[in-house]
Structure 1
Amino acid sequence: MALLTKKVVAEQEAAALARFRVAHPIAKHGKPFTDGELIKDCTIAAAEEMCPEKANLLENISLSANTVSRRVDHIAENILTLLSDKNRHLELFSPALDELTDVSDTAQELHFIRGIGKNYEVYDELGVHSIHGIAIGEDKVSLLSYQRP
């Protein structure tokens, strides 16, 4: 019984990792989140030809638009956390902000930070943050607040 449980848990963890691995290139290439289902269908079709005994495992991977959206949000949160942690160690930094509005009328804030650490290492970081609703100056200032404590 314990062996079966370990196998199920391992399959669930692999499916969770697969959702992140698919969501990342979708976001990286700016593709619609609905492409997750297309990618799943294509992957299952290829698996049915190449390794039919494993094709049923791919059915357990949820790649709906909502799932891909949540995974992209998790990836973005992780990147912002890493960026924030790194920026706490900067001695000097210079931020730059720019804004554009995408086709869904959502404001996209682009922020670029260049800094110098204690050992004179130079860091360049680029991030994007969506602002839903009306974006005002206070919203833009709050984006930079995570840089230094």
Structure 2
Amino acid sequence: MFITEEDYRVVIGDAALKVISQVSEENRANAEAEAREEISGYLRPKYDCGAVFAAEGNDRNRLVVMYTCDIALYHMSAAMPQKMGSEIREERYKRAIEWLESVQAGKIIPDLPLAVDGNGTPTGDTFVYSSQTKLRHNW
């Protein structure tokens, strides 16, 4: 499991987490899966998302952990009656998306494993610059 109870304590208290997840492990698991897929949509072109989300403990990127929690909590709060506490969840969700967009645009370069092919060559967002040989026409 990529996200732990301790990870949520950084962004929300225990009591609030129980309320927002409606004391359902299934709701929480679904929201976490949605958050991982949403994050992967931004990171997949360049980074190895399988390796990112397979990491455990201190090997995980702390910002990805925090933003996964924020996005999962945002999705869980969407099901709350009268959108209880949704302002802070929406603010943190927007901040997570802004960070992901900056990573995608190359403005932020996180310490994440790059996507590679079978030969170990990076596959995502790589550019190869070259030109054709110069043509010489002698008439």
Q: Which has the higher strand share?
A: 1
TM-score, scaled to structure 2: 0.26
TM-score, scaled to structure 1: 0.25
Higher relative contact order, chain-length normalized (CA < 8 Å, sep 6+): 2
